[in-house]
Structure 1
Amino acid sequence: MKATRRQPSSLAALALKWVGIILLLSYLLDVLVEPLPYQFLDLGWRIRVLTQLVDKGIIALMGLAMLFAGDWIDATTTNAAPPHNKLLDLRFWALILSSILGFIFFVLAPLHIIDVNRASTQQLARIDQQTQQAETQLETQLGSENFQQQIEQRKEALRQQIGTLLENEEQLNEALANEQLPPEIKAVLEESKTNPRVLDEFLEEQAQALPAQLETQILEQRQNLEKQTRLTSWKSSLRVGLSSWLLAAGYIVIGWTGLRGMLGGSPRVSRQAPMG
């Protein structure tokens, strides 16, 4: 009857051990295969690989937890003694691996933060270069004859559109009642009824203000890109850095505590079968 009662526990212990081993091997396989081809000098490659290692780091931690949970169940339900030679004890190598992973994740956090800040600096430099190129192109475009012709064409098209409205009182009233129409356009339409020169003055002002508007758009785009770059860098540093240190703490606690107990001679949970 005792053997019958132990059987489910032994099966659970075996299942937990094997699942833990599979999770550990799966993570180690990802560590070796996912980074291929190795490009240690490539900044983008390092950031991508370190992020993946940290994001999947919980897998190996769960594997260790299942492995030791299975060993604990096995220790309370069987009479098997642990190997006297520590090199033959699976727990010993699991604790060594946990300690190594803890050290790696502890080091990965600052390395990732440094790489992300470096990548952010490079991206900001590229944004600045692109902005300067856009401003140079704008200056060249503004001084070209083709651009001036386009301005005149736009002015003539607007003049015709507004002139058509002024000739049709019904359409003019509909336009003035349109809430989406800019206030300055409404003012021009109103004044144009009595002063036709207002339209020409308005079109000339718009043409003169166009270069400043285009330059403002370039600067706004630059600010948005810089803001997005800094935000992405900050989020990556915070998320991956903190996650890496949390994983390091978990691995180090498991590894160092277990090794200290094993090598220091702390008594292990008795392998004797429970009474009754």
Structure 2
Amino acid sequence: MNNTSTSQFTSLCLKIVGLILIISALLDYLTLAIPFQPLDSQWQISFTGQIVDRGIVPMVGISFILVAVWIEATLSNTPKKSGFDVKLPVFILASLLGLLFLLLVPLHLNNLRLASDNAINQIQQGADQAETRIKEQYDQLNALAQDPQRLQQLEAQLKQIDQAISSGKVEGQTLNPQQLQRLQETQQQFQNFRELAKNPEALEARLSELQTQLRDQKLEREGRAKTEAIKQGLRTGLSSLMLAIGYIVIGWLGLKGFGGTSLSPKKAPVR
């Protein structure tokens, strides 16, 4: 096989591989869009991230086709007849993909901002609910500490639980391991209530400790949400921007030089 035949075979292989890469990538984009929910910001974030991760595949396919065209041009000693030129749809596709990835940059960053704000609002709501529950428990314990009758009832309940745990029976029925474990947990909880109710200073200290833990957890979760949004924005946003630049350069330069000899080697004039 001579050099010309080898080059022709190489050109054909590059075109086939490039076409397969482009078609498979576009089909992949279509399948990723299912189910189609363009108004859902979470769907937009997921879809954008996935197509950006696969965004280099069509560019590789386009490069293969353009290299194949260049190889064919180097082998041709006669000017190409007018007709269908594979470079035109390739350059148009590159321009469209460049526009797509360019538009995805601000859209993705805005969606991440909205998602981050929503996550922070949910964290704030959860922290408010937890703080409300803590305050309710504090009020109950404070009321318990000021009511001797309720303290006596608590002591009586603890004695009954102690007897049940010691005997392993409740009302004559033997406790199974799960029931015994739940009873021990209830005993521990009641004992904590009793200790806190009898010690107002410890109750105040416990309240302050829980509020501090809750505040620290809220700040930590908010920080993680913001950091994750920044990381995802930088990774996907910059990748999409670089893909947009690459596709636009290929498409713009190709369309600008289309019809000329941008992909054809310049031949020395015959004297």
Same fold (TM over 0.5): yes
Q: Distance in 2 between matches of 1:49 and 1:122?
A: 19
Normalising by structure 1, report the TM-score: 0.73
Which AA in structure 2 matches 1:43? S
In structure 2, what is the equivalent of residue 58 of structure 1? 56
Native 8 Å contact 1:82 1:89 kept in 2? no
Alignment of 1:132-211 (within 5 A): 132-144=128-140, 153-154=191-192, 205-211=201-207
Amino acid at match of 1:5: N
Shift of 1:82: 3.7
Which of 30, 33, 56 is residue 31 of structure 2 equivalent to? 33
Q: Take 1:247 and 1:21, find their aligned partners in 2: how far apart are those partners?
A: 19
Partner of 2:253: 257
CA distance in 2, matches of 1:91, 1:6: 22
Report the equivalent of 2:115: 119
Q: In the aligned structure 2, how far is the partner of 1:37 from the partner of 1:227?
A: 32
Task: Give CA-to-partner distance per residue, 1:220-267, whole Å, 9 cap, x none.
Answer: 11001100000011111111111111111100111110111114x346
- The 1-side partners of 2:72 and 2:7 are apart by 8
Counterpart Cα distance in 1 of 2:252 and 2:9: 29
Deviation at 1:154, TM superposition (A): 3.8
Matched letter for residue 91 of structure 1: K
Residues 127 and 156 of structure 1: CA distance in aligned 2, closer, same or farther (over 3 Å): closer
Equivalent position of 2:20 in the other structure: 22
Give, in angstroms, the shift of residue 151 of structure 1. Answer: 6.9
In structure 2, the CA distance between the partners of 1:119 and 1:39, relative to structure 1 (3 Å rule), is: same
Percent pairwise identity:
35
Task: Report the aligned-residue RMSD.
Answer: 2.7
Q: Secondary structure at the match of 1:67?
A: helix
Distance 1:211 1:254 in 2: 64
Q: Paired residue for 2:98, among 95, 99, 102?
A: 102
Structure 2: which 5+ runs fail to align? Answer: 146-153, 155-187
Q: State yes or no: 1:269 paired with 2:267.
A: no
Whether the 8 Å CA contact 1:80–1:271 is kept in 2: the answer is no
Q: For residues 90 and 132 of structure 1, what CA distance do their matches in structure 2 show?
A: 62
**What is the SS of the residue equivalent to 1:144?**
helix
Residues 80, 33 of structure 1: CA spacing in aligned structure 2 closer, same or farther, 3 A cutoff? Answer: farther
Query: In the alignment, which residue of structure 2 is the partner of 1:188?
Result: none
**Mapped contact 1:23–1:59 kept (Cα < 8 A):** yes
In the aligned structure 2, how far is the partner of 1:49 from the partner of 1:230?
Answer: 20
Q: Which residue of 2 aligns with 1:233?
A: 229
Query: Which residue of 211, 232, 242 maps to 1:215?
Result: 211
Quote the Cα distance in structure 1 between the aligned partners of 2:52 and 2:262: 34
> Which secondary structure state, in structure 2, belongs to the residue aligned with residue 143 of structure 1?
helix
Structure 1 residues 55-94: aligned runs within 5 Å:
55-79=53-77, 82-85=80-83, 88-94=84-90
Please report how far the alpha carbon of residue 51 of structure 1 lies from its aligned counterpart in structure 2 after TM superposition.
Answer: 0.9
